[in-house]
């Protein structure tokens, strides 16, 4: 312990002139060299990553009364803030790995990933404290020990696909690749939920019309348990979802005229998904017909060649030759019939 305090003091002296990125790297090196030591905390003058309470509450429109009402300890929030920033590189690496793995699936059109912003994490913790107290009792508080289990979107990955029918292949891929601890299908009221029910997937009917299937997956890239959220949706659902999010993020309440147009946009997005599926089905059907047509043309060519050879044989009995040629004529499909085929 004496030796550790010595290095901690030395660390703070060195760190006082460095930027946060350099400080973070030093902390990782120290933790690696002195195995078993905890990562050294920020104790240098002004280096500790404090959240300024007044400016933070004003920035995120949170009242002091809410902090008092739910007995939220600001020092604990600061500890969570520091802890999350400490593991930021680990989370980003894991987010990139999950995204890269999903990109290997041929039916996934595009993938986006992000690690939650540390300030947004603290804002969410404050907002979620009330509901957690209702669930776990009035003594519940978020802590550096439990926030990683309670806030499940610290890592967020979004997989976009083009056709609705591609979802099940992607679902199987995710289920076979990671340990899935929860799946929720967000649907619009009136949507067909039959397949979700067959797969025993929890269904959440959203009045906003938001559609997306959410997976919580668990992994252990180190001895730290990491939970990530994967959202899977179509390209049309993504478009609607982004517009809806932009409007709701900047407003406490959506005006009726915007809400009605959002509802219309949601219906158009749903219809676009259905139309895309029909187009995909028709395209596959046409491609199958074209393949059959090519096969028949190829077979006709062979038969016509055989017919020419038979006609050129002089030694064959005329009646016998005529019977063979008549049979070939019945087998060969003429071009008009082939087009109708």
Tens-digit pLDDT profile for residues 245-263: 888 766 667 888 888 888 8
Band of residue 125 on the pLDDT scale cut at 50, 70, 90? very high
Q: What percent of the chain has pLDDT over 70?
A: 77
Q: What are phi and psi for residue 133, nearest 5 degrees?
A: -65, -35
Confidence (pLDDT) at 235:
95
Domain ranges of the chain: 1-46, 253-341
Average predicted confidence (pLDDT) for the chain: 82
pTM across the whole model: 0.71
pLDDT in tens, 47-70: 456 789 999 999 999 999 999 999
Phi, psi dihedral angles at 106 (to 5 degrees): -65, -20
Separation of alpha carbons 124 and 117, rounded Å: 10
Give the pLDDT mean for 177-183: 96
* pLDDT-based confidence at residue 115 (cuts at 50, 70, 90): very high
Edge to edge, the sheet with strand 155-161 lists 110-115, 155-161, 226-234, 212-219, 179-188, 202-206
Query: Can you tell me the mean pLDDT for 76-104?
Result: 93
Q: Check residue 44 and give its pLDDT.
A: 36
Q: Residue for token digits 């219809």?
A: 271
Q: 315 vs 95, 104, 306, 319, 320, CA distance in Å? A: 78, 63, 16, 12, 11
pLDDT at 145 over 60: yes
Helix and strand numbers (H, E) in the chain are: 14, 6
Does 174 score more than 80 pLDDT?
yes
Confidence band, pLDDT 50/70/90 cuts, at residue 298: confident
Identify the DSSP state of 189: T
User: Which has more pLDDT, 320 or 20?
Assistant: 320
pLDDT of residue 114: 95
Query: Who wins on pLDDT, 45 or 183?
Result: 183
């Amino acid at each position: 312990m004496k030796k550790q305090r010595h290095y901690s003091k030395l660390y703070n002296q060195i760190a006082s002139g460095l930027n946060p990125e350099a400080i973070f790297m030093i902390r990782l090196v120290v933790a690696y060299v002195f195995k078993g030591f905890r990562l050294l905390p920020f104790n240098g003058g002004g280096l500790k990553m404090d959240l300024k309470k007044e400016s933070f509450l004003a920035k995120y429109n949170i009242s002091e009364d809410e902090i008092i009402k739910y007995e939220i300890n600001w020092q604990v929030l600061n500890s969570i803030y520091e802890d999350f920033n400490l593991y930021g590189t680990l989370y980003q690496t894991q987010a990139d790995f999950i995204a890269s793995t999903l990109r290997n699936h041929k039916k996934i059109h595009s993938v986006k990933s992000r690690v939650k912003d540390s300030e947004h994490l603290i804002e969410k913790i404050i907002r979620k404290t009330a509901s957690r107290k209702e669930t776990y009792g009035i003594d519940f508080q978020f802590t550096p020990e439990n926030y990683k289990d309670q806030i499940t979107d610290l890592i967020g990955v979004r997989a976009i696909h083009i056709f609705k029918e591609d979802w099940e292949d992607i679902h199987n891929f995710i289920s076979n690749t990671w340990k899935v601890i929860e799946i929720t299908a967000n649907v619009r009221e009136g949507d067909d939920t039959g397949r979700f029910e067959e797969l025993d997937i929890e269904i959440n009917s959203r009045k906003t019309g938001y559609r997306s299937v959410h997976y919580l997956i668990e992994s252990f890239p180190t001895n730290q348990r990491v939970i990530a959220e994967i959202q899977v949706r179509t390209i049309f659902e993504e478009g609607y979802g982004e517009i809806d999010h932009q409007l709701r993020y900047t407003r406490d309440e959506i005006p009726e005229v915007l809400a009605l147009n959002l509802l219309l946009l949601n219906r158009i997005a749903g219809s676009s998904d259905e139309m895309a599926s029909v187009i995909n089905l028709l395209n596959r059907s046409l491609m199958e017909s074209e393949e059959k047509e090519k096969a028949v043309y190829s077979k006709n060519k062979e038969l016509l060649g055989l017919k020419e050879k038979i006609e050129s044989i002089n030694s064959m009995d005329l009646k016998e030759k005529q019977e063979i040629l008549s049979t070939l004529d019945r087998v060969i499909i003429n071009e008009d019939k082939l087009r109708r085929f």
